[in-house]
Structure 1
């Protein structure tokens, strides 16, 4: 089965951790992840500037490792990212901002990527949000 997974909550939220564990289980079960899509506060999971207290799990770091190790398509909504100050090199330059905090393996793109993933997957599973 092919899954598209959308994450709407930041890395420190329990739903982001559940999404990560679900994604791990999907692959462990022999299924496929068509795309991971980070939207709303979920874009913070892709920020390289997230600092986690020593007594907490680094879910953002775990997301990065998971995406890299499994060579997954991980898309961050560009509108949500810009609103929250999550910028790749191109957007930082475009808006004349001094910091870049979105790097590989993440890719900025629009909501059309979520729609496409939902069309190409057997199931769209969403975690978090309002």
Structure 2
């Protein structure tokens, strides 16, 4: 089965951990993840600037390793990221900001990438949100 996964919750939310566990289990079960799309507060899962307390799991670090290790397509919604100050180098320069918090393996892109992922997948699985 091919999955597209959308994550709407910030890194400290339980649904972010559930999304990661689901994605790991999907790959372990022989399934394919065609796209991971981080939207709304989910963009914080891709932010290198998030500092996790020592007694908690560092989900942004775990997501980064998971996406890199499995060579997955991890897309961060550019509009949601900009609103939250989650910037890659290009956007930081464009908006004259000094902080860069998104680097490889993440790509900033629009909602069209979610739509394309849904078209390529058998199932869209969403975590978090209102």
TM-score range normalised by the length of the shorter chain: over 0.9
Secondary structure of the 1:52 match is coil
Instruction: Point out where structure 1 has 5 or more consecutive residues left out of the alignment.
Output: none
Aligned residue number for residue 22 of structure 1: 22
TM value normalised by structure 1: 0.99
Deviations 1:10-49 (A, max 9, x none): 1110000000000000000000000000000000000001
1:125 and 2:125 matched: yes
Number of equivalences: 130
2: CA distance, partners of 1:7 / 1:42:
5
Q: Which residue of 2 aligns with 1:115?
A: 115
Question: TM-score scaled to structure 2, two decimals?
Answer: 0.99
Unaligned runs of 5+ in 2: none
Displaced runs of 4 or more, over 6 A:
none
Deviations 1:53-106 (A, max 9, x none): 111011111000000000000000000000000000000000000111100000
The alignment yields a C-alpha RMSD, in angstroms, of 0.4
Deviation, structure 1 residue 108: 0.2
Q: Which residue of 2 aligns with 1:3?
A: 3
Alignment correspondent of 1:71: 71
In structure 2, distance between residues paired with 1:28 and 1:82: 34
